[in-house]
Copies of this chain bind each other. A is one copy, B any other.
């Protein structure tokens, strides 16, 4: 009974047209051109590397796409148990009519060729969007992205701000800021002006969120203008050699300024909390980051109290932080649960975390899922994984345990999958 119930609920959810509220899609090249774009996703390269593949095998300069795929395939068998592998198989089956249940050294070439042919079709991007029932995807744009050359209704700009908060000590970042804003920064006030211009540009181009990823020890606090100006002076003068405390002050000032502009421009501020960058120095590209799960949302207490008008959709990197996210979302009107991020984006953790959210956070305050993808083909299997888990939770915990009707359970699922994306991330210009 329960399996059939799950299937029926899944099918109802699977009929929805989606908006993906967080991706790393390049709007000028959203879909893949060969299977190397797919298998080059850090989930596969880092798992293959973890299973024994030398990094040089795939990071060799000038390596041809097909050769790269062939080398990665050798290690696929060792990771076929992973959910990431199941995304790959489902994608191959749906998009490229793949019939086997594993990609091996014997069958990969025909898949590669079939995929290349499919991807070469001029309307491939539209086919993927249609087949995936994707109406729009949110981007992750550098602060100096011109945001031109694409339809911002389909590829929705989001202002990513890690560089501003954490990397202004690099001269290249400061130069990009000056170039993007035409503003010469010399103190707190001119820095705030420059940041303000970024918001103006982004909102005018249809941006719907400001976003940032944060290390576990980050504890935002207000820094006054005088202290901030001293930090600007020090960092602009000494760059990476600037006094550490001043660099921290600068980061805090920029972060607080971002929150102020989010308030002014009515943008949600996505916080992705808990990542340590570069933990594994010799890791593959994008496969070096890990975390310290000893983090608490209490670190954000001052921020949440200071900006009641700014919605903070929050992602936590570790499942052990999810209960805090549930509780803070239940108490703070401006705190929302947002998706299942990275190392928590696997079924066991999604199930535990999503169930806890669904039973204790207002239904209007939960963004169920985002794909975090770099290429469009990933939305389908990733969302499918989430929808299956969501269907399981709704079937077991709402229909069976709490006596809800199927229809009512499906409605709840629809809201967290799609409805809340529209209400939370609506166009700020229309608010």
A binding-site residues for B, Cβ under 8 Å: 3, 46-47, 49-52, 78-84, 86, 101, 276, 279-283, 287-294, 296-298, 301, 304-305, 308, 318-321, 323-324, 326-333, 343-344, 346-349, 352, 355-356, 358-365, 388, 392, 397-398, 400-405, 408, 412
Contact = CB atoms under 8 A, between A and B. Distances in A.
25 contacts: A46-B331, A50-B329, A50-B330, A51-B365, A52-B364, A79-B362, A80-B363, A82-B359, A82-B361, A279-B298, A279-B331, A281-B305, A289-B331, A290-B297, A290-B328, A291-B324, A292-B296, A292-B298, A293-B324, A318-B324, A319-B323, A320-B320, A323-B349, A326-B343, A347-B401
Contact of A50 (B84, B101, B358, B365): B365
Contacts of A392: 401
A291 B298 contact: yes
A281 B303 CA distance: 12
B280 A332 contact: yes
A83 B290 contact: no
B363 A50 contact: no
A318 B323 contact: yes
Nearest to A363: B81
A402 to B, nearest CB: 6
Contacts of A47: 330, 362
Looking at chain A's contact residues, the main secondary structure is helix
Contacts of A358: 81
A346 B86 CA distance: 29
A341 to B, nearest CB: 12
A320 B296 contact: no
A326 B317 CA distance: 13
- 10 nearest A-B pairs in the assembled complex, by CB-CB distance: A51-B362, A292-B298, A292-B296, A348-B355, A81-B363, A348-B356, A327-B343, A83-B359, A78-B362, A346-B360
B344 A323 contact: yes
Contacts of A388: 401
Contacts of A83: 359-360
Given A293-B323, A298-B290, A359-B347, A332 B50 contact: yes
Contacts of A332: 50, 280, 283
Given A51-B362, A281-B305, A3 B400 contact: yes
Contacts of A320: 293, 320, 323
A316 to B, nearest CB: 11
A107 to B, nearest CB: 16
A402 B321 CA distance: 27
A346 to B, nearest CB: 5
A114 to B, nearest CB: 22
A50 B360 contact: no
Nearest to A295: B294
